[in-house]
Amino acid sequence: MEITKDIRYIGVDDTDIDLFEGQYPVENGMSYNSYVILDEKIAVLDSVDAGFVDEWLDKLAAVLDGRLPDYLIVQHMEPDHSAGIARFMEAYPEAVIVSSMPAFNMVKNYFGTDYAARRMVIKEGSTLSLGNHELRFIGAPMVHWPEVMMTYDASEKILFTADAFGKFGTVAADEEWLPEARRYYIGIVGKFGVQVQNLLKKAVALDIQMICPLHGPILTENLGYYVDLYQKWSSYTPEQEGVCIAYASVYGHTAEAAELLAQELIDRGCPHVVTVDLTREDVSEAVQNAFCYSKLVLCSVTYNAGLFPAMQQFITQLVERNFQNRTVAFVENGSWAPTAGKAMKTMLENCKNITFAEHGVTIRAALNEDSRGQIAALAEELAE
């Protein structure tokens, strides 16, 4: 696939994968993107996942059309992008790997050699001339691993962004970019907001007409929209005013409370209200909703004098991703000794800038007049 006159796409779509990184369900598969810049010198940017190395090498050979590549630029060493390194180096014995020193340490760990005689070590600001294409490398540590380098092609005004600006789903997937890009971002680099902010400061200084990530579609239009979302996500700024109600229910009473609260909020004109059943929906879906909205209500039964496992896992994932800058409220249920509210609050107490709602809800087994009143009071507070 031709991206520009000199740049080709040689990535692959993986439609067989069920769990990305062993944990994220990917209903519409995943893409592992790779690019070739054809100039006086030829550079290949990243390889692909292990199951697709043959397909990738075939695509590369077709693009090369008898020429030989000079460089394999390794922007990111995670195996979904690096599994083809050894096969590439065997196939093209004159080629040189271009990457950061931390990446070469990983190359040695993965492949048993760091290609000391066939490597070019780059760091922030290093450049590589291919002829007409002058590449400049931009350090992006922890976006998503410590070795990551991005590549800016000034002649084409393209930023190759490694994992950043990627999404779940194949390139061919017919779906909206935002939901799966948000779930991908929050899940994979949500913890590293500071590092993403550092990257964005460097990126805004560049003239960028196209973003070429290692997953998902190439972004060519309205780039400010994507950068603005990354600004929000990485600064933990709510994307939308609204309420996410996440619940863990066993016999349905806590679910009933969650749905009642949602209705009370809608009745009060709350613009966006979503409910998430933590026992049925994947936790990554719940996490992305929690990060999207400005307010979060956690509703859980008490279980073994603590939290129901689905709620425990959900809050753990929020905390791991530096959940902050939100209003949080609690709905607890317990047939004889409700303690879930306290347990949930304790898990969140080290998160930055969390405003805990004044009103909480305690249900003893089933909703009654008292707990319905508490739900109404909480809705009143959250709808303000």
Residues that bind ligand FEO (CB under 6 A): 76, 78, 80-81, 144-145, 163, 214-215
Task: Tell me how far apart the alpha carbons of residues 94 and 108 are, in angstroms, rounded to a whole number.
Answer: 19
Q: Tell how strand 71-73 and strand 42-45 pair up.
A: parallel
State the minimum distance, in angstroms, from the CB of residue 140 to ligand FEO.
Answer: 11
Comparing CB distances to ligand FEO, the nearer of 192 and 303 is: 192
Nearby residues of 370 by Cβ (< 8 Å), 6 or more positions away: none
Comparing CB distances to ligand FEO, the nearer of 78 and 156 is: 78
Comparing CB distances to ligand FEO, the nearer of 6 and 78 is: 78
**C-alpha dihedral sign at 79, 80, 81, 85:** positive
Q: Are 151 and 45 in contact (CB under 8 A)?
A: yes
State the minimum distance, in angstroms, from the CB of residue 161 to ligand FEO.
Answer: 11
Comparing CB distances to ligand FEO, the nearer of 70 and 80 is: 80
State the minimum distance, in angstroms, from the CB of residue 81 to ligand FEO.
Answer: 6
Comparing CB distances to ligand FEO, the nearer of 144 and 295 is: 144
Q: Are 69 and 60 in contact (CB under 8 A)?
A: yes
Angle at 295 between CA 292 and CA 300, to 5 degrees: 105
Task: Tell me how far apart the alpha carbons of residues 118 and 252 are, in angstroms, rounded to a whole number.
Answer: 62
190, 297, 199: which is closest to 242 by C-alpha? Answer: 297
Comparing CB distances to ligand FEO, the nearer of 133 and 182 is: 182
Angle at 9 between CA 227 and CA 31, to 5 degrees: 65
State the minimum distance, in angstroms, from the CB of residue 216 to ligand FEO.
Answer: 10
127, 44, 126: which is closest to 84 by C-alpha? Answer: 44
Q: Which position has the token pair 């697709």?
A: 52
Comparing CB distances to ligand FEO, the nearer of 38 and 72 is: 72
State the minimum distance, in angstroms, from the CB of residue 183 to ligand FEO.
Answer: 14
For helices 177-189 and 283-292, angle between their N-to-C axes, nearest 10 degrees: 100
State the minimum distance, in angstroms, from the CB of residue 149 to ligand FEO.
Answer: 13
Comparing CB distances to ligand FEO, the nearer of 214 and 318 is: 214
Q: Which residue is nearest to ligand FEO (CB)?
A: 78
State the minimum distance, in angstroms, from the CB of residue 146 to ligand FEO.
Answer: 11
State the minimum distance, in angstroms, from the CB of residue 4 to ligand FEO.
Answer: 23
DSSP string, 258-322: HHHHHHHHHHTT-S-EEEEETTTS-HHHHHHHHHHEEEEEEEEEEETTEE-HHHHHHHHHHHHTT
